[in-house]
Amino acid sequence: MRAHRLSSSATLFLKVVWPGVLIVVGALVMFMLFVARAEIQDPSGVAAHQHERWLILGVFIAMTWLEYLFGIRLKRVRLDEGALYISNFRTEIRVPLADVAGIHEHRWVANRPVTVEFRRNTRFGKRVVFMPRLNEWAGVIAELTAAVGRAQGFR
């Protein structure tokens, strides 16, 4: 059986393009605020206080961290009868389904990322995160769980 994609076709955009745009725009804003000393003004034209620069920096750091958690570390995942094929768009690895230790869906996040944990370390670590195909979260989880069950001798 040929491997088919479990992860969203938007993975490349969410992993590379969107974080790149956010980082470039954020870096430009930080440069303007801290190096070029641009003034922040409220809608009435009054200059903001210095501490608001630090607040904006804190928001930028928080956004960057969230982007790492829910974007940059995403992987492209494909499945066949015996293995997962996991890619970071530069390298692809093959992990036997028998090595899968757990599958966890993050329902509280809008795009419902899925974490797959492995029994041993892979080139990408002991767990990988991917975003399932759009509007097919339940089907992807069920398909992956069933394939892992078959590979591990559970029906």
Residue 94: is its pLDDT beyond 60?
yes
Greatest CA separation for the chain: 69
Report DSSP state, residue 41.
Answer: B
What is 76-151's CATH number, 3.90.180.10, 2.70.180.20, 3.30.70.890, 2.30.29.30? 2.30.29.30
The pLDDT, as a whole number, for residue 113 is 87
The pLDDT, as a whole number, for residue 120 is 94
Which residues have CB under 8 Å from 14's CB, separation 6+?
8, 70, 71, 74, 111, 131
The pLDDT, as a whole number, for residue 45 is 58
The whole-model pTM stands at 0.77
CA dist., res. 137 & res. 6, Å (int): 9
pLDDT digits (tens, 9 = 90+) for 3-25: 889 999 989 998 889 888 988 99
The pLDDT, as a whole number, for residue 80 is 92
The pLDDT, as a whole number, for residue 3 is 81
Residue 96: is its pLDDT beyond 80?
yes
Which residues have CB under 8 Å from 114's CB, separation 6+?
103, 104, 105, 106, 129, 130, 131, 132, 137, 140, 141, 144
Q: At what angle do helices 50-67 and 18-30 cross, to 10 degrees?
A: 160
Structure tokens belonging to residue 79: 């499945």
The pLDDT, as a whole number, for residue 86 is 97
Residue 106: is its pLDDT beyond 70?
yes
Residues in the chain, total: 155
Q: Which residues pair with 132 in a beta bridge?
A: 7
Confidence of residue 56 (pLDDT cuts 50, 70, 90): confident
Domain extent listing, the chain: 10-72, 76-151
